[in-house]
Structure formats: C-alpha cells, structure tokens
Amino acid sequence: DILMTQSPATLSVSPGERATLSCRASQSVSTSLAWYQQKPGQPPRLLIYDSSTRATGVPDRFSGSGSGTEFSLTISGLQSEDFAVYYCQQHYNWPTFGQGTKVEVK
C-alpha cells in the first residue's frame, strides 16, 4: 500500500492568516489526491479531489496543489470554522490516508 505522510502534525495559526498543509506519498500517485476536513464528533468531509478540484460547496479559500509525491492544501484567511483536523488520501490505487494535521488556534 502507498504510505501517506502529512506534516506538520499540528499547525498553530491565527484567524485570518494562511495555513499550508503538506502531504507526501511514498510513490507517485499522479494527481490522485484528496483532502478531507474532520471536526470533533463528525465524519470527514471531502474538500478536494484530483489534487486541486474543490468539492461541491467548498469555499474558494481552500485550494489544493501538487502532483507525483508532493501535495499541499492551502487555507487562505482562516475562519473559526476551519480549525479542525485535515487528512489527505491518495486515490491512485487502494485508498490510503495520511495520519492527519490538526489546525489549531494560535
């Protein structure tokens, strides 16, 4: 299985600032990468698929980029509802997830 590694484990950001989360694959997954947001007590919510395509209803302050083995999720102008855990998932073959990045209030 493809191993997904996210960094950092925790990101402290002030509201209104920009947050950049990283995800690395153990082998190339082309642009087959998705991002999810999970808040406490809730299921994950799809944000991005195909590396950079926003899911329906996702605000444009969320943007994804990358290809091959290196990917990033950028949240521009963090709002209070954006503080959560974010997971990446490769959808190149058998789905595997990163261990998550927690975005917390600085």
Partner 1 sequence: EVQLVESGGGLVQPGQSLRLSCTISGFTFGDNAVSWVRQAPGKGLECVGFIRTKGTTEYAASVKGRFTISRDGSISTAYLQMNNLKIEDTAIYYCTRVRGSYPRYWFDPWGQGTLVTVSS
Interface ranges with partner 1 (CB under 8 A)? 32, 34, 36, 42-46, 49, 55, 87, 89, 91-100
Q: How far is the CB of 12 from partner 1 (least distance, A)?
A: 20
**Is the distance from CB of 27 to CB of 96 less than 8 angstroms?**
no
Helix (H, G, I), strand (E, B) or coil at 50: coil
Q: Tell me how far apart the alpha carbons of residues 97 and 26 are, in angstroms, rounded to a whole number.
A: 12
Residue (32 or 69) nearer to partner 1, CB: 32
Q: How far is the CB of 83 from partner 1 (least distance, A)?
A: 18
Q: How far is the CB of 89 from partner 1 (least distance, A)?
A: 6
Residue (63 or 97) nearer to partner 1, CB: 97
Closest alpha carbon to 78 in 51, 104, 53, 52: 104
> At 81, phi and psi to the nearest 5?
-75, -5
Residue (48 or 77) nearer to partner 1, CB: 48
